[in-house]
Structure 1
């Protein structure tokens, strides 16, 4: 592959956030935990939104709202605009006096179509984004005036760049390879003659709908990254879930179109970590990073960062464990 793929991937992460920053001026920004972690590692965190002109940055929670003098809101979510995410947005908008709402979702419109029952999540002809347009109407209803402005957009915000050559996906922290217990649950709803004998017999269509959507969201995010890299990938998989993910990526219609014109080539390896669970959870102290993650507490709301007690580096000395005047440091903190 020509050029530096790591630099291109990092640029893609930051470019995705540029869409959000462009809408942040004079807005209250509500960010969910996974997107906040992505921005945390992409550089700047909440400070980057404030520098872009945001009035405030708040947690994506039903207990938050905008002030009376704040007519604009930006929502940044890593999930589908369905279920709990919709409830939270409705609660926030209903408790506020917004006249202009912009919603960024890290999940593509094609996956939203799949979630709403469209076969294969196929995009309609003409480039219409029906699900997003319907949600824009709901936003206007919740704001109380159909003449107010609402926008719903997709932004590929799933990747968090830990380092130039290491990227993680906070939104998929709970995605875990299937176990025999999962197979038993899947078989419990199937006729006796159609039960699966082993995990290796499973395919995408046999998975629970929630897991299908999670996999398709991951595949869509990977496809967005490969589009930025102009890559035609060759996939290798080790493990049941990895094979399903690799297969779905291979059959994903948008990925097929991308591969026809991509100029670069890359190999992608998917691995079920349950095949190496002993090594994955071991604390051998072989590296400094391993010692840091095993000793220091997790940064609240994050899956890939830790808290560093900064009080020890100051003249402020206190024995009060509840004293939190000095904010904790973290690995992503600028040098």
Structure 2
């Protein structure tokens, strides 16, 4: 079982639009409403892969009730933490050329009692977990050290933990040695404090995160592929994608693919790449099922192309 923790979940509404013209009336050609948040997306992808998952998330108000209903309809077990504030609602505008514009609300502020209930719920639900995936931004009220505390508690209980967050929360958690961290290129650059222009730059940055405590780094480099660095070495994975429809949740789908394949080594990286590539071919934040995957389109190599320029270099 893979347990996911989403401290700041959302109700996500995605509109497909021909183009986004500022100040004009834009008519959508498609619309989806999905439960959102990075950990929620990981649970959705794990469930789509046919594996059991439990989603721990604070929920409040009508949007929170709808998130729970949507997850239940997808066969995902929900361990809700009731909060007084309403769950946030986000909007994404997906243009036909693959450009995505997102408007993310801040979400409710959690009280001290709600924070403790969230940690206690994770503790109770983690007894049967193979992995805990902690994902996304922290809501108002939670200190940057909150994820570090959660990692320490998970390891004390003998459970492996994957962390997908950024900024001070990521840096604070590294000291507790999470089993895997999954930054994207921008988050990786932010963590080391310098831009990344080549795959080699990303590799050096991932090695620095390992030096700071991460046991493994799974870095999403967008269209350039994915990089895995752990105790056994480094691998680089790419996949052929003919057309991008939406990249919402692609990184979350990748993490799910990595974990359902064991969470270690080149086989798990290949699964991560296949899941990420499948996700970008789907509308909105729809998560891929096994039939959507194309393992034959995936290439994984230990010969990391360090001189390859990133098509989307970070600033």
Give the TM-score, by structure 1 length: 0.29
More strand by share: 2
More helix by share: 1
Give the TM-score, by structure 2 length: 0.30
Structure number with larger C-alpha Rg: 1
Q: Which has the higher contact order (CA 8 A, sep 6+)?
A: 2
